[in-house]
Amino acid sequence: MWRWRGNSLASNQAATSVIDQGCELEGRLTSVGTLVMNGKFRGELVSSDTLLVGETGHVEAGVQVGIAIVSGQITGNISARERIELRSTARVFGDIVTPVLILEEGVVFDGRCTMKGEELRAAQKSS
């Protein structure tokens, strides 16, 4: 049985949130912990941790995260503090700013990539 346990900060830091296939959201989404996107999202997405965009995930947003692992589609600019991994089924239409970029064979990427380290980390911490 599922029980509500309140919103303690410690539990939120390890939380995993899922926007599943069939869900469509629009607006500004701020997440703590891992965010799994298998549905559709449009707007602005900010996470201090990891964004996982599944093969059915479709994001039309400006994205600022710690780590992005993409198997679906993102239309919009992505800024990652640690790294971005584009899996073979990923389709990204927008610019990328990250210190580490991993591309698998088969990725569709239409945009510019800027590899920045410390400057990016400092800018995201002040946001």
Enumerate the domain spans of the chain: 19-118
User: With the CA atoms of 37, 39, 45 and 46 taken in that order, what torsion angle do they form, in degrees rounded to the nearest 10?
Assistant: -20
Q: What is the DSSP string of 74-126?
A: EES-EEEEEEEEE-TT-EEES-EE-S-EEE-TT-EEES-EE--SHHHHHHHHH
b/e per residue 1-37 (b: at least 16 CB within 10 A) = eeeeeeeeeeeeeeeeeebeeeeeeeeebebbebbbb
pLDDT of 35 strictly over 70: yes
Mean local confidence (pLDDT), 29-47: 95
Predicted TM-score (pTM) of the model is 0.81
pLDDT at 9: 45
pLDDT band at 103, cuts 50/70/90? very high
pLDDT of 99 strictly over 80: yes
CA nearest to 35, candidates 78, 4, 67, 7: 67
pLDDT of 1 strictly over 50: no
pLDDT band at 15, cuts 50/70/90? confident
Question: For the chain, what percent of residues have pLDDT higher than 90?
Answer: 74
Mean local confidence (pLDDT), 29-54: 95
pLDDT at 68: 98
CA gap 19, 122 in Å, rounded:
29
Instruction: Let me know: does 55 contact 37? Beta carbons within 8 Å.
Output: no
pLDDT of 23 strictly over 70: yes
CA gap 101, 30 in Å, rounded:
23
Neighbours of 70 (CB within 10 A): 26
pLDDT band at 5, cuts 50/70/90? very low
